[in-house]
Structure 1
């Protein structure tokens, strides 16, 4: 029986090396498969399908987009009533969170349409009606978002210079990743964003009663190797100082998935950003309605609509 040194005797890097040696080459593929299973998002169906839902202030059409990884992405474009291609309206691309789908952001559609904004809802890979893939990650959410942006800019009725992003949880982190790296959107509305993916993974380790040192360190290193980037390089906390567009952070006061402190940290790291704390949890669908005028005012001011 292997008896490891006391935890305090190991650095995180040393612990990772130790566990890798302990697991052995044969066990690493087992760990990889176990992680893929454990981190795989639930496939939430659209019930009812979006095409069957009433769209009071616009018209909805389904799209099938070709993603950056060769996968098919499901998307839905809603245009305001009477949208004239010659006039070109501003738009919002809305991206859901982990284990959700475009339906979870459906409540914002009519509100945005009524303000003259087009809306693109998107199922990220492995979610909703989009194709299944081996794994998901924050960078892949951002890739799928970029595919949706390309589709929006190709729509004749949409003004490609006036597009904002709205995302929830990991979808919000993806909007911040894209906006910080590309600087090609007019504004970002972030709902329930986390500050750092490492902290989210550490919460996942605790929830599954896995030690932070040793095996936990190896898991964190392995996840970063699989997604192809370091957590520090995609952390919203490290990205928001580079934003060149306005940012509205919206967070639930009773969020137990991502603590409210994360929103305050992001707000402090991004001078000029706005923070709206609402009476809600991580799922903000019910909590957003009373604050719709504030969100519409933010979007209207930066997209040039009547809501401003």
Structure 2
């Protein structure tokens, strides 16, 4: 029991220490997620101000500061809190004779690092696409995902407004995606991480970008706006599930872009009863909402 407690404390303190070192510039600049996130946010927000798609939308749009708080809570605070639990799970695997590397089904060790990163990016993006579909398909998971879809005006920070339970759901599957790639050492994964953050920020921004012919590969703000639309195709549980890549939606026929005006009502049926504050939103999903209780 002591070794698990020690593992938890060490992982927690290590994550906390790394975050603080990032804030005070005591880590290599290319791995500094704290200031990297701020820089990407500032660049995309500046582009929103200079080239707004929906020109009647305020610079400080509805729930701007709430989303800004979500961004740092989910990216740093919750990651620090949960890091100890993941370390304990890893220790449990190894203690029960399940070597992590035994899960690998592909050996990338002989490939150039560029190919390793590309495969890593594609595998992780598919895992996240699949998880995202599950969040919409199953009601219990959808109740947590409603937090993300409660955004009523899109902007870069909406990218990281999501219920803390999504971290619990996404991270194990993302970790599994890494584990099946034998021979891949994730020290260079920061490249993929920063790229994914940038794409995610753009996808939620008030900028009209479609990437031209690359729209069939990369997700974009026009496509993702319809993912957040209040009205979705009849009989569907969602459309445009892509995270960084749109190609999964085109492959699995979940793509949907009826027009590109940007004037789309966002949200979901019954969102007028959805909690407005951070605390109540993050308690949501564990109990039935008031409308469900009335039925």
**The two structures share one fold, judged by TM-score above 0.5:** no
Structure with the largest fraction of helix: 2
Q: Which has the bigger relative contact order, CA under 8 A and spacing at least 6?
A: 2
TM-score between the two structures when normalised by the length of structure 1: 0.28
